[in-house]
Structure 1
Amino acid sequence: MSLSKFESELLTEWLSEMQSNEAKYKEPILDIRCSILLKEVCSMLRQDIHVFVFSINILEEYISRKTQMQQDINDPALTLMATVFISSKYIGDQDLKSKYIESVLRKISGQRVSSKTLKLKEMEILKVLDNCLPLVNDVDDLNTFIVKFEKESKIKATIIPLCMDILEMLYLTRNQWFFELKVLYTNNNEALSVFKRLMKNRLYLPMGILLYVFNHTLYTHSFDVSEITNDLSVHSQIHVDHLNALVSKIHDVIGQIPV
């Protein structure tokens, strides 16, 4: 089904905004175990990838600011649950009740907290964040980019579910592959500066995921992937070598998934 003129214009405008507005450069803080726990909590609460990714962004920003303030994080389990609760209210698919948050908290930590305690923790997190939640979400960026590409290339079957699964895996393992990729750019300050610009570019990750899909599915027989890579490189002003380095790292991550 083709998009309406309004939808097409909206996608074009959103893509332009992605290209012109950089994300904030930040290095991963959560380790894989914490990311997996957060994902499991989201699954238990029936929250989708939007809430999972948004929760990671909020929690890492909170931890970063608490570190800058030289303050310890008391009650990590409650903090994690309150973060998911905040995310669900902002971007979730359903209206979560505090009793469900409290129930899951008992399951993962044995803690029993009141709705008031949970509310106070939410308020403390928001206060540390100056009541400003992250505006950039990789899920929306990826979805917008892929929808636009699908429309323009007339792909018959949507590849969004597969791309979202890859994005989820990249977030689960981000503390590992991010720094492995960074090593490739640590030869000098100029190279490191390039890496930071890449990680701030909101098109970099979506393009890497798209190219990985085309390189490792049957689509590789339907499209000239090299031509697509060169075309994306020109439009994004990201060198082909940088795109290929990301695709290679995504391949490493996916290859580590147990069959």
Structure 2
Amino acid sequence: MNLKLFKMLFIIIFIASTSTFSYCENLPKYGVFLNISEDDLYKLYNYYIVVIDAQNFSKKAINVLKSKGITVYSYLNIGSIENFRPYYNNFKNIILKNYENWEEEYWIDISNKKWHDFIINTLAKSLIDKGIDGFFIDNTDVYYYNESEQIFYGVSELLKDLKKYNKDVIINGGDFFIDKYYKRYKSVNNILNGINQESVFSSIDFKNNKLISQTKETNSYYKEHLKKYKHLGIKIYITEYTTNKLLIQKIKYYCIKNGYHYYISDSIELDI
């Protein structure tokens, strides 16, 4: 290839990539902010879809976000319990085991009827009453760590009951459970509307407290997993943890190409 032709190709590719990422800036901005307070509310105004822990927000604050056209999803942890929650002492007797890398968190027996009723009729209802648009469900991975029929049933029934509120249900992770459910019932539409997958391209080295790149094997696995459910009409969201500029561009390009919402955080704390 002669130098003149190479320069022309470079210019074409540069213009195309620039216009792509310019277009990206006009897409709805998605953000996951689990460690912020109402004092930081104004920082969310330039997002169109936000995930917050609405247990820490008033109905008034959520209404402010919604008045600005922002879709508000609330974090809801159904498969584990944190020791800072006000209801921790009521359920510590059904803890299964410690949660690796998170000292304040414990896997819980999701099949327990008392836990199910609390999540559905007390906690979820209180969030609905605040005006949220849907739930961002965490730790259905409890089934990965306890692959029993009663845990599978507990996760399934809880998700189905959440769907009865006629609000969006986005499952964070949960690939093992989702695949098992789909294999058994040939559909996931009665338990979720969307999937948020963390760390498709990035990863967290907890031992050395570093943000690193994901392995090729895991990256490929997650890509195929998300592709499968996108083809079934499920909305796909991605959350990444990195400060690597080249990796950030790679994530953006992939998400734009596939029509996925994405949020890239420089901290695992998900603050702002």
* TM-score, scaled relative to structure 2: 0.27
- Higher strand fraction: Structure 1 or Structure 2? 2
The structure carrying a bigger helix percent of its residues is 1
Could you tell me the TM-score, scaled by structure 1's length? 0.28
Greater relative contact order: 1 or 2 (C-alpha under 8 angstroms, separation 6 or more)?
1
